Structure 1
Amino acid sequence: MASSAAGSGFDADVIVVGAGASGAAAAYHLAARGRRVKLLEAGTLPRPKPCGGGMAASVQALFPFDLTPAVDRVITKVRFTWCLEDPVIAELPGEAPFWIVRRSRLDHFLAEQAVDCGADLLEGTAVEAITREENHWCVQTSAGGSLNSRAVVIADGARSVFGQRLGLGSLQPRFASTVSVEVEGEVQEPDTAHFEFGLVRHGFSWAFPRQGGLSIGVGSFIGREPLEAEAVLARLLPSLGLPPDSGERRVSPLRVWDGHHRLHHGAGALVVGDAASLVDPFLAEGLRPALLSGTRAAEALDRWLGGEARALEGYSERMRADWGQSMAWGRRIAQVFYRLPRVGYQLGVKRPTAPRRIAQILSGELGYGDIAQRVIRRLMFNRTQS
């Protein structure tokens, strides 16, 4: 479909704010449909971003090009432990069910695909304001200028404020406390992701292998107690054969799913990815919903620009069905599991069928709704008996 921006006096059909995974995905799909897109990035690509990098390989279905150039490792096993002991090993289904990516590479790779389709990437362009004028959106940049478009995609991550100002997404986002550590060195088990549930109060820690090292993190998902990350890392890192002071610590907000919210503005604005509070509130998966929302937003905007009046409303509805319904169950599991972590580990991880189910969730084969009622019933029953 040919772009209409050039003949309308606008700078673009769509301005995408943020060239992370969700924004770059949206820009690619819009440009591939012939829409005139400006992709605005505050930094310069490639740029590092705190992120474990775990991603279900099922996201490949969202793109017609091969994603594996951006993949560091293919994970075939997941190892769960409680206080670094009592291990459970889950074999993941399929040939490549779970990937580890480096965000500097993935985001840049997706942005390049968007540019190849005709998107205009503007790096070093931070956005200061987004306002609705008579018949278009005005995006004010840090350079002092402004850009006009028929539609806008808000994709500038967990710290974004633009969606809230437009009444999109959670008006009071809920943040998990996280610390990430990137460590260079030899990887002992290059095909295994490690989840540790006993060391962190109200959360867990993880260690994902990547090329030349490990992506390690600590996260607390319920409650407001300070995250004792250094105490956790002092035990976790030596268990991986690393000195306790290895790597550079980065504190970063993780904006987790916290209820169903409207993700569209009827005049042509959509919020996606972390800015839309789509991160899994139980296992902290953020890349799959980022890529999914970027793709679905582009599909909806293309139809809306083509004259389909309810297409944007359809985006909110589809994300609720495809992601939010599962996350509603994931949140309930997290609230029970992380308040009763030892019981949760015994009943939710060590049961004979549990590793397979968790593996299927990580690979995208199952949603939380497929297992939630049984898991919550077991946890609550055990709580009333103790």
Structure 2
Amino acid sequence: MFDCIIVGAGPAGSTAAYHLSNQGRSVLLLEKKSFPRYKPCGGGVSPAIQQWFDFDLTPVVDNKVNRVRFTWKKGDPVETELDTTEPFWMVQRDVFDNFLVEKAVEAGSELQDNSEVTAVQISNDIASVTTSKGKFDARYLIAADGASGAMANWLGFKEAKQFLGAVLEVETAVAPAERNTAKFEFGSLKNGLLWCFPKSNGYSLSAGIIRGGKGKVKDLEKQLTNYASELGINLSQSQFYNYPMNLWSSERQLHQNNALLVGETAGIADPLIAEGIRPAILSGVKAAEAIVKALAGDRNALAGYTDTINSEIGSDLVLAQRLSGLFFQFPGIAYRVGVKRPYAGKMMSRILCGELRYADITDMAMQRLKSSLIPGRG
């Protein structure tokens, strides 16, 4: 019997596995695909994640961005230098995720990839997981199988509202002047945004429906294709992917019986800019801490995990959700009175890099947006 079984070897799951194994706990890490595997994602990640690991992450940083360019309907641009300690990181998810998995295995975790979970049951304080390679038991279970996974539903958690994301991966030469600039486009995609991240071998162009509903896959593909053409990107070597997103909107219960939800499974993604990697990794760290405490006899440890995520991550993302709701309801005004102001881009860059929280800016941003909607003000 294992101390913990983790279903899903993305950043949240592999982070939890690494930290549990580092504490001498026995861990089985299950993944339905074979590693390394591709993951649809823009690949932008805050350098702040380095604080949660005792090994160097820079070997798998594909590129670094120190400049951001915002546009409104492909025009009206505003650019800003990142006023941060460390530039924004770009990663290739197959390389990045595999690196974290390898570190977890080196720490003592047992990996079974190409192993699909077909059933899960918790009885008498034992979690039993049935896979395509057999049945395994553990004292605790972490569900990290992502927004499209079945674990949360099987475990009886409330279904999260899903939104639609997409990425257009383009393999092409990147001009030196473009290698260090991330681009965000507002106004073209209703209830969402587009963004373009430069990599060493091309671009990841992404789209996300942030407000209102899932949207249509064909609309996202059309928007991304048009966006790439506007940017002058050669699409001869390109591939389109779509995927569901669970964005944070309110406090949630993330523990039940002997199980915890982390990362995309828990819906811990930014509802304004759809950032998911940094909060996913933090949830993996906190889940590992909770299970170590539970194994030591703390009966309130799993409930403490829910409280910790809601207070340390969720409360800030609730503010982002409120700001997102107003922003995407009145995007033209929001762009004019928010994004185009000189300090706005710098503040957003510091949020992207993990050096600023939404709690530090939301009150001021909301007041500015609201005042612009009142006749005679703004």
Q: Which residue of 2 aligns with 1:289?
A: 279
Q: 1:235 aligns with which of 223, 226, 237?
A: 226
SS of the equivalent of 1:48 reads coil
SS of the equivalent of 1:380 reads helix
CA distance in 1, matches of 2:232, 2:36: 30
Q: 1:216 aligns with which of 188, 198, 205?
A: 205
What aligned pairs does 1:264-275 form with structure 2 within 5 A after superposition?
264-265=255-256, 267-275=257-265
Q: Which residue of 1 aligns with 2:14?
A: 24
Check conservation: 1:98, 1:362, Cα contact below 8 A.
yes
CA distance in 1, matches of 2:164, 2:366: 24
Gap regions ≥5 residues in structure 1: 1-9
Q: TM-score, normalised by structure 1?
A: 0.93
Q: Which residue of 2 aligns with 1:3?
A: none
Check conservation: 2:120, 2:154, Cα contact below 8 A.
no
Deviation at 1:243, TM superposition (A): 4.0
Check conservation: 2:70, 2:78, Cα contact below 8 A.
yes
CA distance in 2, matches of 1:36, 1:315: 20
Q: Which residue of 1 aligns with 2:159?
A: 172
Deviation at 1:198, TM superposition (A): 2.0
Per-residue Cα deviation, 1:224-277 (whole angstroms, up to 9, x for no partner): 353622442343112322246761111111111121101112x42111000000
Check conservation: 2:84, 2:355, Cα contact below 8 A.
no
What aligned pairs does 1:125-136 form with structure 2 within 5 A after superposition?
125-136=115-126
Q: Which residue of 2 aligns with 1:6?
A: none
Check conservation: 2:271, 2:324, Cα contact below 8 A.
yes
SS of the equivalent of 1:309 reads coil
Q: 1:57 aligns with which of 43, 47, 52?
A: 47
Q: TM-score, normalised by structure 2?
A: 0.95
Check conservation: 1:234, 1:245, Cα contact below 8 A.
no
Q: Which residue of 1 aligns with 2:247?
A: 256
Identity within the alignment, %: 39
Per-residue Cα deviation, 1:64-95 (whole angstroms, up to 9, x for no partner): 00011111111111111111211111221334
How many residues align structurally? 372
CA distance in 2, matches of 1:69, 1:270: 30
- Residue 295 to residue 91, structure 1, CA distance change in 2 (3 Å): same
Moved more, 242-251 or 272-281: 242-251
Deviation at 1:97, TM superposition (A): 3.6
Gap regions ≥5 residues in structure 2: none
What aligned pairs does 1:1-386 form with structure 2 within 5 A after superposition?
10=1, 12-143=2-133, 145-168=134-157, 171-188=158-175, 189-224=178-213, 225-226=215-216, 228-243=219-234, 247-265=238-256, 267-385=257-375
Per-residue Cα deviation, 1:144-169 (whole angstroms, up to 9, x for no partner): x210000011000111232234344x
Deviation at 1:187, TM superposition (A): 1.5
In angstroms, what is the RMSD of aligned CA positions?
1.6
Deviation at 1:351, TM superposition (A): 1.3
Deviation at 1:172, TM superposition (A): 2.8
Check conservation: 2:9, 2:31, Cα contact below 8 A.
yes
SS of the equivalent of 1:385 reads coil
